[in-house]
Structure 1
């Protein structure tokens, strides 16, 4: 084994024992246990519905991951979904075609995200307070647009596509575009200078600013992207259920944040991977699906989601604290004596100088 391979070898166990690997293993275990213990869970029909339920959570979790890694948060995503859905219903009732409504809904989501970004970056307000406020504001605007009514006569071609499958099989049509978005966000976060800047901002935004990173502009763009993706989810949600309502996706922000934190993204920023987030989304959504099939009430599902949210924040911090304590208790190895230099090995004592008479 070469010296370079030997140096890399000790890193492998740490990677295999990381939080991402634990979430992936727990996800696989949950799928296997649910397939054997819950009726209908392992069928292809349920797999189709599981993916359709998973799609909006995963889409919203992609930009949420980048925002949380940067040290911020966006709790208004579900309300943005509801407002863009209500806007779709209003525009459809006004006679606009869906070919025009869909890009307008995505653009409206980007504008709502830009409003969040302006409050956070320009005014310097805390993102938690800002997005809690816009969570209520955007949901209220959705009710202003539609009230308690619903628009449910959308074009059948669009609704069939949103609920259809590739080639008439069990894989939904939405899988290829979602996979493309996952790859794009993964590359942006883990393989580009923008991703490195996001991690640097999450670790210390002041140091990142001194390093030349445009912190405010980057965070603003992250909120714009989050809003645009939420607008896209509003389109998908409306077409999948063939209904535009003001309360669409209500409460979904809790599931999205829980999935992101469960996937190993630090709530303090600066740490996380998209692989862990994808595993966290699959784990949380499959667990909810299995419990619904087991006739567990919606209130109990909310309790379970909240519990997982607390554990996803608590366990990584406890694990990091225990690891730091163990490293402090482990005594450092004594320094090895350095080998003598060639000059030291060949040096011989010199005789003392003597006078001409022979005496020292």
Structure 2
């Protein structure tokens, strides 16, 4: 009797699979996940040094700061805003760490001060956007220049490179001694899982999508739009500052020009991962896949001896494609769904009294 009772449920489960497969393939992050897998396979097959443990460790370390800053950036862009000051916040945090260390401040205290500074810088962005009602694009372009300028005020053209060796080597240390798997990659994976739960399985995450889709409707349903955006910018500044601390210890040096232009790669990874620049759409899985895809492409080109200028051009082209591609696909889908207008046959009108048709 048991098989007879479960047979209809089994048939319904099997019938649902085609729909699930179509939904998976039509997801915005599916192309970037597929591109990442194809890139990894091709690079492993045609580049001798790519699949080595040492190179994998280098690849993951090279995208660590980008991945860290891309997580809060995902939440911000989903709400329809953007933060272009993240790389300058990273640089100012690095310069502050260098200045404090030169002044004899203990490294632990200096790290805490840097994180608090990052929170304050992010909160300043949030105040401009939420209290003054200024567009985040204009605000963060301004603070991008401001924070970078403050980094030059602190260090000028100098570099601080006298950090404790155990801290410097610890930043690049492998996880449990596994070659090719730095501990920071495991930490980022844990953070990504936390952000994914927050975004996709909580009321807070649903409110972020609501804000991005329709701010006024979200406000009428009880979402604290301004407060939410303020804390998102504060979170972005804090994480960017933490990325600056890691960047400094990873390379063992602080400079004011650290991570110059890195915000381009962060935004490119977020948009490439399927997050709509207009807000309301995006997943953490897609963004992390975009980060790894960018890192894989750049790493493969570096192994081929491609210059840094070409790498910047490739990043720019990928950013343009990540914005144009989804909108082009959406436009084609709308055209397919829109039925063609039916043509009404014309009926000849009877002639008038003088024998001519009107």
Out of 117, 128, 134, the position equivalent to 2:137 is 128
Q: Residue 161 of structure 1 contacts residue 173 of structure 1 at CA under 8 Å; is this kept in 2?
A: no
Counterpart-to-counterpart distance in 1, 2:340 and 2:252? 61
Query: When the two structures are aligned, how many residues end up with a matched partner?
Result: 331
SS in 2 for 1:66: helix
* CA displacement at 1:9 relative to structure 2: 4.7
Q: In the alignment, which residue of structure 1 is the partner of 2:96?
A: 87
5+ long unaligned stretches in structure 2: 1-7, 342-358
Out of 39, 47, 50, the position equivalent to 1:41 is 50
Structure 2 residue 273 is matched with structure 1 residue 279 = no
* CA displacement at 1:235 relative to structure 2: 0.4
Q: In the alignment, which residue of structure 1 is the partner of 2:3?
A: none
Counterpart-to-counterpart distance in 1, 2:221 and 2:266? 32
Which segments of structure 1 move beyond 4 Å, counting only runs of 4 or more? 6-9
Structure 2 residue 237 is matched with structure 1 residue 222 = no
* CA displacement at 1:78 relative to structure 2: 0.2
Structure 2 residue 51 is matched with structure 1 residue 31 = no
TM-score, scaled to structure 2? 0.90
Highest CA radius of gyration, 1 or 2?
1
TM-score, scaled to structure 1? 0.89
Q: After superposition, give the CA deviation of every residue in 1:65-114 in whole Å (9 maximum; x if it has no partner).
A: 00000000000000000000000000000111111111111111010000
SS in 2 for 1:154: coil
Q: After superposition, give the CA deviation of every residue in 1:149-187 in whole Å (9 maximum; x if it has no partner).
A: 011010111111101112333111212221221111111
In the TM superposition, 1:314-353 aligns within 5 A as 314-329=324-339
Structure 2 residue 199 is matched with structure 1 residue 189 = yes
Out of 131, 138, 145, the position equivalent to 2:147 is 138
In the TM superposition, 1:1-360 aligns within 5 A as 1-2=8-9, 5=13, 6=15, 9-170=18-179, 171-329=181-339
Q: Residue 197 of structure 1 contacts residue 208 of structure 1 at CA under 8 Å; is this kept in 2?
A: yes
Q: Which is worse superposed, 79-88 or 40-49? A: 40-49
Q: Calculate the aligned-residue CA RMSD, in Å.
A: 1.5
Q: Residue 175 of structure 2 contacts residue 186 of structure 2 at CA under 8 Å; is this kept in 1?
A: no
* CA displacement at 1:329 relative to structure 2: 2.4
Q: Which is worse superposed, 138-147 or 156-165? A: 156-165
Q: Residue 261 of structure 1 contacts residue 313 of structure 1 at CA under 8 Å; is this kept in 2?
A: yes
* CA displacement at 1:206 relative to structure 2: 0.8
5+ long unaligned stretches in structure 1: 332-360
